Structure 1
Amino acid sequence: MNTLNFTNLIVGWGKGGKTLAKFLAARGESVALIEQSPKMYGGTCINIACIPSKFLITRSERGMDFAKAAESKAEFIAKLNHKNYHLLADEECVTIINGRARFTSNREIEVTAGDDLLRVTGERIFINTGATPIVPDLAGLADNPNVLTSTELLDLKEKPEQLVIMGAGFISLEFASMFAGFGSKVTVLDLRSEFLPREDEDVAQRVRSDLEARGVDFRLGVTFDKVAENELFITENGTKTAVKFDKLLVATGRKASTEGLGLENTDIELNGRGEIVVTDKLETTAENVWAIGDVHGGPQFTYTSLDDFRILQSQLYGDQSRTLADRDVLSTNVFIEPSLAEVGLNEKAAKTAGIPYRLFKMDTSAIVKANLIAQPQGLLKALVNPADDTILGATLYMPEGHEIINLISLAMKTKLPYTMIRDHIFTHPTISEGLNDLFAAGNEVK
């Protein structure tokens, strides 16, 4: 068996890993990037998550035919995949190794590609294998060609007439909104009886009613019994019934991709959820081994994976000041119509924690631009610290909320008082100028 030695080994082609590979190669260091599937050049976001899903969501909102949108999406993703491959493969110091990686020790990895076996070692190793969908252990679910995860659903070439979704989380809602826009009959089933339980009740009610107005049917508090051919058998209000589907999407969460990595042959520890345990510097419990992105738990976003790169850059070649502890302000977005964007505390969380706050609240319909683009539905909420006027958090359920939330998060990170946004001069007519009105005295809820 051949053995190749590198300064850096990166296992998995995610956002943080590929950015790190490019950075290290620019310093003249040898880098080997191990990726088991050519379809994943560029990582999860580009190939099977953020980019293809948002591509289809935007085409859905524009009324494009699904088959045409799917074809255009495939062409677009293929170009990104190709570009990302050459982004690293064309680097003199980077070696791309295709195959399945398995640790045999803290320093050594075996890579299997068909019948070929290669041994590689690294002075530094970075695990960047991401996360995979969780598929419940339910009778009839496995090996059913019409039961899909988000990965397979994004590869469909024809629209399902009846789409049933297991789970009512954020991924589920994005697909529900998308396929409702394409004209599918969408049914969302969830074990929980409360819709979006972590959200403020008024926000959750708006989201649900808007999706229902688009034809999405929600059935909550059900239990899943089994799947047989094109039927999902459930128990609802004590009654057993069956829900027919053309395609069944399993959207019940994601888990760290650590299975089969051979971590039992190392000193690398996992937590109870199967995620790699790391310090605030992304160090694992094995010397000179780090974990990047979804595989170490926490928020599963491309932008947090990129921030992991910044942490490693700071730790390896910077002033070592940047750590996970700096990630105290983190925005999230759900790309439904309109989008649901959040940062910091919502009202429910603040009440639970006993944190005092001033509440500002406004309907999206008060924003001129929202009416101009015929998207007046939605709600804006913001919490302000009564002690120093800084912003504790915001929920923006409105068009372009996924863009505007970044203004709020920047203000929170820099500890600006809310009055800076209230009195800032925004261009007109824009969605962002709605923040002037949100923080006006007349919208404070006493």
Structure 2
Amino acid sequence: MPAIEEVDLLVLGSGEAGKYLAWTLGSQGQRCAVIERRYIGGSCPTIACLPSKNVIHSAKVASLLRRGAEFGLPTSAQPVDMAAVRDRKRRMVDGLIDMHQQKFAASGAELVMGSGKFITPRTIEVELNAGGMRTFHGKRVVICTGSRARLDETPGLRESHPLTHIEALELDQVPPQLIILGGGYIGLEFAQAFRRLGSEVTIIERNATVIHREDEDVTAAVTELLHDEGIEVLTNASVERISGTSGAQVSIETSGNGAPRTIVGTHLLVAGGRTPNTDGIGLELAGVKLEPHGHVRVDERLQTTAESVYAVGDCAGSPHFTHVAFDDFRILRDNFAGGSRVTTGRQVPFCLFLDPELARVGLSEREAREQGIAYRLAKLPMVAVLRTRTLSETRGFMKALIEPQGQGDKILGFTAFGPDAGELLPAVQVAMSAGLPYTALREAIFTHPTMGEGFGPLFSSIK
């Protein structure tokens, strides 16, 4: 067994929270080691968030080219060069990896490439990718191992060798017929992107609607978008059996909506949720307990059941967003310096990167009703925001929930479905965080013509 190397901070996994914590403490002179099996910087810059948005943008450009005549330009009906789409994505990822390596070098934090597992409390043994072993003991240890696509026990699923988001982003040919299991964020983003790149696409969703936890007007609008794009959506559909091999031919036997049905395609993409990467890393030897679904058990300060061991991001059950993992980093950074930040009560925004985007922060109407919270509603069609007319992108709406009259004027929640909807969130978030009344946005002077200009008429509709 190699000699044990002592470090101030030992991080298992180089995802968002772990890498920023190592860079920060490393730049302060602490000895930090980050163990990463494969994806430098974690999944976001290499196989998930940024790569998928890169491909999604290529798909949007393809869509715009087909609409050329609408803008007085030649219309292109040429097939998409999927290898070129993939290579553009790869170039971006390569640049991001270089950036991460530079940040490790500049901060003094060491990036150790290999597979790590606990062998005793706060001690991790690493089988190096280049060969050999190293063993580290940390004064503080952070588990930052992320999550992976979940494959359920549907008969034939694993044998069909389905795509996950990782393999889908590496395709060099457009799938002729793509079947997607799951109508959540990942499933919808890939459905629209591959439809625009040239695939026939079918979504199979077990619930009554896609993104079923959202408000009815939201799911209706998104469903209409998918229909208009030529995407078939099967809801209330249970997958009974899968046969064949993804990449050649797959056959999906479904039940629901009164009759069985068989869906045949060339490729199968699984987008039915995530499972934490907490198995096989020796957590039982470290005194770290898990929740029933496999997440590391943490308190509001991200402390695990083991002394001086913390967990962050997806593996700790934090909402599966990079921006939440970054806030996990800030919590540990400040608490290590004597602070008392917690995860409870955080304002968590999200954006679904369809075209147009769906973005939300705070309460939805569904959540307000379920929690018995009264509200006033403001709603505005996107066509009333003049910027959308200049773009020929008038689909959608924005809406806000406001405290009841006589109880205050604070914003309880905001939803936007329209062009660049995600860019509308920051202004509303700042107002909500500062406890400002909705009138602060109603009375502000926003540049004309921008999407933010829509806040005026939206909040003017409040009674």
Which bracket does the TM-score occupy, shorter chain normalised?
Answer: over 0.9
Q: Secondary structure at the match of 1:227?
A: strand
- 2:440 — aligned with what? 420
SS in 1 for 2:268: strand
What do residues 36-63 of structure 1 show as CA deviations (whole Å, max 9, x unaligned)?
Answer: 11xx101110001110011111111111
- Give the one of 104, 114, 117 matched to 2:119: 104
Q: Any residues of structure 2 matched to 1:382-401 within 5 Å, and which?
A: 382-386=400-404, 387-401=407-421
Of stretches 335-344 and 266-275 in structure 1, the one that deviates more from structure 2 is: 266-275
Q: Is 1:436 matched with 2:451? A: no
Contact 1:41/1:82 (<8 A) preserved: no
C-alpha deviation, 1:95, in angstroms: 2.3
1:227-248: per-residue Cα shift (whole Å, max 9, x none)? 2112122224343332112211
Aligned partner of 1:46 in structure 2 is 45
Give yes or no for the alignment of 1:376 onto 2:394: yes
Give distance in 1, aligned partners of 2:87 and 2:265.
Answer: 23
Are 2:119 and 1:119 equivalent residues in the alignment? Answer: no
TM-score (norm 2): 0.91
Alpha carbons 1:340, 1:398 under 8 Å: kept: yes
Q: CA deviation at 1:260?
A: 0.6
CA distance in 2, matches of 1:25, 1:118: 20
**Cα distance in structure 1, aligned partners of 2:437 and 2:359:** 20
> How far apart are the structure 2 equivalents of 1:436 and 1:160?
44
How do 1:286-297 and structure 2 match up within 5 A? Answer: 286-297=306-317
Number of equivalenced pairs? 437
Q: CA deviation at 1:90?
A: 5.1
Q: What's the counterpart of residue 13 of structure 1?
A: 14
Runs (5+) with no aligned partner, structure 2 = 66-79, 245-249
Amino acid at match of 2:436: L
Counterpart of 1:268?
288
**Structure 1 residues 411-420 or 177-186, which shifts more?**
177-186
Name 2:322's counterpart in structure 1.
Answer: 302
**Aligned Cα root-mean-square deviation (Å):** 1.5
d(CA) in 2 for partners of 1:185 and 1:96?
42
Matched residue type, 1:374: S
| Residue matched to 2:26 | 25
Listed as ranges, the matches of 1:124-273 within 5 Å are 124-145=140-161, 147-229=162-244, 230-273=250-293
1:324 maps to: 343
Helix, strand or coil at the partner of 2:444: coil
- The residue type equivalent to 2:238 in the other structure is T
8 A Cα contact 1:359 1:382, kept in partner: yes
Q: 1:313 to 1:365 in 2, by over 3 A?
A: same
Task: Output the amino acid matched with 2:307.
Answer: E
Whether 2:92 is the aligned partner of 1:81: answer: no
**Cα shift at 1:87:** 1.8
1:58 corresponds to: 57
Equivalent position of 1:337 in the other structure: 355
Once the two structures are TM-superposed, the CA of residue 30 in structure 1 deviates from its matched residue by 0.7
Where does the alignment leave 5 or more consecutive residues of structure 1 unmatched? none
How many Å separate the matches in 1 of 2:302 and 2:210?
Answer: 34
Secondary structure of the equivalent of 1:412?
helix
Q: Is the 8 A contact 1:191 1:222 kept in 2?
A: yes
**Shift of residue 143 of structure 1?**
4.2
The CA distance in 2 between the partners of 1:321 and 1:269, in whole Å, is 23
The answer to whether the 8 A contact 2:288-2:305 is kept is yes
**In 2, Cα distance between equivalents of 1:94 and 1:298:** 25
- Amino acid corresponding to residue 410 of structure 1 in structure 2: V
Measured after TM superposition, the shift of residue 266 of structure 1 is 2.1
Report the Cα distance in structure 1 between the residues aligned to 2:259 and 2:219, rounded to whole angstroms.
27
Match of 1:363 among 376, 381, 388: 381
For 1:48 and 1:203, the matched residues in 2 are separated by 28
Moved more, 50-59 or 116-125: 116-125
Task: Report the equivalent of 1:353.
Answer: 371
What residue identity is the alignment partner of 1:18?
K
Worse-matched range after superposition: 176-185 or 333-342: 176-185
SS at match of 1:148: coil
| Superposition TM-score, scaled by structure 1 size | 0.95
Deviations 1:216-266 (A, max 9, x none): 110011111222112122224343332112211100100211011111112
Counterpart check, 1:95 vs 2:96: no
Tell me the amino acid that sits aligned with residue 363 of structure 1.
Answer: P
The structural deviation recorded for 1:117 is 3.0
Query: Matched residues in 1 for 2:109 and 2:412: separation?
Result: 44
SS at match of 2:186: helix
Q: CA deviation at 1:152?
A: 1.1
Given that 2:18 and 2:312 are in contact with CA atoms closer than 8 Å, whether structure 1 keeps it comes out as yes
Q: Deviations over 1:117-149 (max 9, x none)?
A: 33221111111101111111122221434x111
* Secondary structure of residue in 2 paired with 1:179: helix
What secondary structure sits across from 1:439 in the alignment? helix
Is structure 2 residue 36 aligned with structure 1 residue 35? yes
Determine the C-alpha separation between the residues in 2 that align with 1:183 and 1:25: 47
- Given residue 298 of structure 2, which amino acid in structure 1 is its aligned partner? V
1:320 partner letter = G
CA distance in 1, matches of 2:49, 2:251: 29
For residues 398 and 335 of structure 2, what CA distance do their matches in structure 1 show? 39
Which position in structure 1 is the counterpart of 2:77?
Answer: none
